[in-house]
Amino acid sequence: MIEKRQFYINGQWVDPAMAQDFTVIDPSTEDPCAVISLGSQADTDAAVAAAKAALPGWMATPAADRIALVEKLIDVYETRGEDLAQAMSLEMGAPIDMSRTQQVGAGIWHLKNFVRAAKAFQFDRPLGDHAPNDRIIYEAVGVAALITPWNWPMNQITLKAGAAAIAGCTMVLKPSEQSPLNAMIFAEMMDEAGFPAGVFNLVNGDGAGVGTQLAGHPDVDMVSFTGSTRAGTAISKTAADTLKKVHLELGGKGANVVFADADEKAVKRGVLHMMNNTGQSCNAPSRMLVQRPIYDQAVETAAEVAGKVSVGGALEEGRHIGPVVNELQWTKIQDLIQKGIDEGARLVAGGTGRPEGLNKGYYVRPTIFADANNQMTIAREEIFGPVLTMIPFDTEEEAIEIANDTPYGLTNYVQTQDGDRANRMARALRSGMVEMNGQSRSAGSPFGGMKQSGNGREGGIWGLEDFLEVKAVGGWAAE
Please identify every residue annotated as catalytic: 249, 282
C-alpha distances in Å from residue 382, one per residue of 258, 332, 377, 461 = 20, 10, 9, 29
275 contacts 366 by C-beta, under 8 angstroms: yes
Closest C-alpha among 462, 469, 460 to residue 113:
460
Strand order in the sheet with 2-4: 2-4, 31-37, 21-26
Q: Are 7 and 43 in contact (CB under 8 A)?
A: yes
Tell me which amino acid residue 322 is: G
Please give the Cα distance from 278 to 147 (Å, whole number): 22
In angstroms, the Cα distances linking 315 to 23, 277, 335 are: 20, 14, 27
Contact (CB, 8 A) for 218 and 48: no
C-alpha 391/C-alpha 389 separation (Å) is 7
Looking at 214-331, which runs of residues are DSSP E strands?
222-226, 245-249, 255-258, 287-291
Say how far apart CA 458 and CA 445 lie, in whole Å.
8
Backbone angles phi, psi at 447, to 5 degrees: -110, 125
Question: What is the C-alpha separation between 32 and 50, in angstroms, rounded?
Answer: 33
Q: What burial class does residue 153 get, using C-beta atoms within 10 Å of its C-beta: 0-12 exposed, 13-18 middle, 19+ buried?
A: buried
Return phi, psi of residue 301, to 5°: -65, -45
The torsion angles phi and psi of 349, rounded to 5 degrees, stand at -160, 145
